[in-house]
Amino acid sequence: MLKHVAVSPHRARADSVSLASSASCCSLGSLEHRHDSVTDLSHRTTTIKVYARRLRPDIEYKTLSVTWGTRAREVVATLLGKFRMRHRDPRLFYLSMEVRVRAAGLRTTLVLDDDARPAALQACHPKGYSKFSLEIRPGGLVKIYDSALMSSSQYKCILTSEQTTADELLAILLHCYDSNEGVERFSLYEVNPAQEQERKLHPDDLPLQVQRAWAPGSACHFRVRRNPRAPPLPPRALPPPDDVSEEDDEPSRALSALSLEADGEKRRYHPVYQYPSISYCKETKNDYLYI
């Protein structure tokens, strides 16, 4: 058994150095082995069944292939993507886990945190004794005037959660229009027409809580504006120009139709009909058509 040895700051002992080095090597080796084992477990793949009637009434459940390191918020985002509901607020949904105790005949429902790992929790219980469900958090409807994103649109009403930030709300709007522009190019403003004032929201502000602070019957609203100092869009990649071969002095004959003939294993295009030839007069720069 190793004992702690106090070393004087004025001198160093050889045995104390060897004890410290051996102990550190043992601890580092065990930590590295433990880290490798945890990494291997996080990459293991399994399946979970998520009941998603809250998402759509005609959906009973969806079976997903996840790893042990997949978090609950990633499962929610995967479900929204599979059902083409990227315009829905992902913070509005969360996972719950129902655990059944066979001996006592009890059922316990646990609310999973966004960083919880459903696959690892499922492995802690016998097969068939745990059930995941997609639940919805309390939220509210936010009306946003978004003509800066789409000129033909006047406004959008989005059901959002209390913890959704201004930047996350802008990202949802960009998903609605399948826009490739980044969130940093736009800002959300709180507009008060009665006082002719507007305030730019911070990216981490919570629009739903800001809206609840308005007076009843107020004409305040949210509006999306493009940032004047936003970085310019990257130039579009133009297709490479086609190689133009040098034309002969006499143009080739035009083909009015092509037929595909099979010649053994080879196929070639064969002209069906040909226009009369067109000759070119170099002296007068005129075209003559011989019929």
- Percent of the chain past pLDDT 70, that is, above it, reads 64
Rounded to an integer, what distance in angstroms lies between the CA atom of residue 134 and that of residue 62? 10
pLDDT in tens, 246-263: 444 444 444 434 444 444
Average pLDDT over residues 16-30: 43
Alpha carbon 156 to its chain centroid, in Å, reads: 21
What mean pLDDT do residues 276-284 have? 41
| pLDDT tens-digit series, residues 70-111 | 999 999 999 998 888 878 899 999 999 999 887 777 888 999
d(CA 134, CA 105): 24
Using CA atoms, how far apart are residues 218 and 215, in angstroms rounded to an integer? 5
Please tell me the distance from the alpha carbon of residue 192 to that of residue 126, in angstroms, as a whole number.
Answer: 57
For the CA atoms of 255, 260, 263, 264, the dihedral, rounded to the nearest 10 degrees, stands at 160
Residue 185 has pLDDT above 80, yes or no: yes
Return the beta strands (E) in the chain as ranges: 45-51, 61-67, 93-101, 106-111, 130-136, 139-145, 156-161, 186-192, 197-200, 221-226, 255-263, 266-274, 278-281, 286-289
Query: Which structural domains are found in the chain, ordered by start?
Result: 45-136 (3.10.20.90), 139-226 (3.10.20.90), 256-289 (no CATH)
Q: What pLDDT was estimated at residue 233?
A: 65
Predicted pLDDT at 16 = 39
Give residue 142's pLDDT band: very low, low, confident or very high (50, 70, 90).
very high
The mean pLDDT of the chain is 75
pLDDT at residue number 237: 60
The two three-digit tokens of residue 65, written as one number: 């292939």
204 confidence band (pLDDT: 50, 70, 90): very high
- Quote the pLDDT of residue 254: 41
pLDDT at 86: 74
What is the reported pTM? 0.60
pLDDT at 217 over 90: no
The pLDDT of residue 125 is: 85
Nearest to 223 by CA among 155, 135, 129: 155
Helix, strand and coil content of the chain, in percent to the nearest 5, comes to: 25, 30, 45
